């Protein structure tokens, strides 16, 4: 069964005062999909995230969220369907404690105190920050901070979650913590997820990968399909291949293996069984 479209951009045009970013971009995202949007610095990823989350509006073309056309009149309402987590968690805190921080976003949603408390408990549990609810967000580790930022967005119960380089300032351990949360949201909650990154290792986890270059889509397919495409050189777009993909590409070119592997185990077993 074909999944329902949840976000749709048709031929959109967007420019900053001195710089044109998109000159006719089209993208369709389906319900429950995890799409990684990758591209080098300046390729338009954050601008795209801002359009999709209703922070900025397109000049031309159409943008639909769950089949509804986004217009100047309804975009404030429609953007509640899209939650965005940014790169630097420190920029996202408003509360004195973690609990206040999650509550802050909920205060504009006319919820009763009980429901607010329930939501705080539910989402703090989901991202495993329940023990920090009374701590100051700034005093937490990088991974903990980013999980607080995620809980604050999740508590608003958006249908779509966008992560804009949300792991790029984190150490490998914290990065894994955040990716574990993303995976839980994808698998257990079937949320529609967009992870924006220049890290192709991270993009490997997604169902689909869209490669942006200078505001244009140069590839759109499952990550392994894109990596296996001989006609596409991602390094030309200033992207670094995932480690085991790069190694297996070199081994394949040397005639040692016949396809690409993205894990150490896969590659080792292919080499041992030759």
Chain contacts with Mg ion (rule: CB under 5 A): 45-46
> Is residue 181 at the binding interface for ligand ADP, with CB under 6 A as the rule?
no
Q: Which does 72 bind (CB under 5 to 8 A by kind): ligand ADP, Mg ion, none?
A: none
Handedness of CA 204, 206, 208, 211 (dihedral sign): negative
Estimate the share of the chain in helix, then strand, then coil, as percent rounded to the nearest 5: 40, 25, 35
Which of 43/248 has CB closer to Mg ion?
43
Partner residues linked to 25 by β-bridges: 12
Residue 88's Cα: distance from chain center in Å? Answer: 14
**Residue selected from 8, 43, 166, 195 as contacting ligand ADP according to rule CB under 6 A:** 43
CA distance 52 to 5: 14
- Interface positions, 82-111, toward ligand ADP (CB under 6 A): none
173 vs 196: CA distance, rounded Å: 19
How far is 223 from 36, CA to CA, in rounded Å?
9
Kindly name the residue from 33, 165, 177, 202 that is annotated as catalytic. Answer: 165
Minimum distance, C-beta of residue 166 to ligand ADP, in the bound complex (Å): 13
Listed ranges 44-52, 87-95, 115-123, 177-185: which one lies at the site for ligand ADP (CB under 6 A): 44-52
Q: Does 46 bind ligand ADP (CB under 6 A)?
A: yes
| 135/95 Cα distance (integer angstroms) | 10
Distance CA 72, CA 52 (A): 14
Q: Minimal distance in Å, beta carbon 38 to Mg ion? A: 11
Query: In this chain, which stretch among 45-53, 102-110, 115-123, 141-149 interacts with ligand ADP, using CB under 6 A?
Result: 45-53
| Residue 45 or 191 with smaller CB distance to ligand ADP | 45
Q: How far is residue 20's CA from residue 13's CA, in Å, rounded to a whole number?
A: 8
39 binding partner (options ligand ADP, Mg ion, none; Cβ < 5 to 8 Å by kind):
ligand ADP
**With respect to ligand ADP, which residue has the nearer C-beta, 21 or 210?**
21
Residue 27 beta carbon to ligand ADP: minimum distance, rounded to whole angstroms: 14
Binding to ligand ADP by residue 235, rule CB under 6 A?
no
Q: Is 210 in the site for ligand ADP (CB under 6 A)?
A: no
Among 9, 14, 47, 160, binds ligand ADP (CB under 6 A): 47
Q: CB under 8 Å, gap of 24 or more: what pairs does 166-172 form? A: 166/85, 166/86, 166/87, 166/195, 167/197, 167/199, 167/202, 168/87, 168/197, 168/198, 168/199, 169/87, 169/88, 169/142, 170/142, 170/143, 170/146, 171/142, 171/143
Q: Active site includes 68?
A: no
* Candidates 24-32, 37-45, 149-157, 237-245; binding stretch for ligand ADP (CB under 6 A): 37-45
- Residues with catalytic annotation? 165
């Amino acid at each position: 069964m074909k999944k329902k479209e949840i976000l749709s951009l048709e031929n959109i045009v967007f420019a900053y005062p001195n710089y044109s970013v998109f000159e006719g971009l089209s993208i369709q995202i389906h319900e429950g999909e995890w799409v990684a949007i990758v591209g080098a610095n300046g390729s338009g990823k954050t601008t795209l995230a801002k359009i999709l989350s209703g922070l900025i509006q397109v000049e031309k073309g159409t943008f639909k969220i769950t089949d509804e056309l986004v217009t100047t009149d309804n975009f404030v309402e429609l953007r509640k369907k899209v939650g965005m987590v940014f790169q630097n968690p420190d920029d996202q805190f408003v509360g004195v404690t973690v609990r206040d921080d999650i509550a802050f976003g909920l205060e504009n949603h006319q919820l009763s105190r009980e429901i607010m408390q329930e939501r705080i408990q539910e989402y703090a549990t989901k991202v495993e920050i329940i023990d920090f609810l009374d701590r100051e967000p700034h005093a937490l580790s990088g991974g903990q901070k980013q999980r607080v930022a995620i809980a604050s967005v999740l508590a608003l119960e958006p249908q779509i979650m966008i992560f804009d380089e949300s792991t790029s300032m984190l150490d490998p351990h914290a990065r894994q913590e955040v990716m574990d949360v993303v995976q839980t949201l994808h698998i257990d909650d079937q949320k529609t997820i967009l992870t924006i990154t220049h890290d192709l290792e991270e993009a490997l986890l997604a169902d689909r990968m869209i490669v942006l270059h200078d505001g244009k889509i140069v590839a759109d397919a499952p990550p392994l399909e894109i990596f296996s495409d001989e006609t596409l050189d991602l390094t030309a777009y200033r992207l670094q291949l995932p480690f085991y993909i790069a190694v297996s590409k070199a081994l394949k070119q040397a005639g040692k293996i016949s396809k690409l592997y993205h894990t150490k185990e896969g590659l080792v077993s292919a080499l041992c069984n030759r």
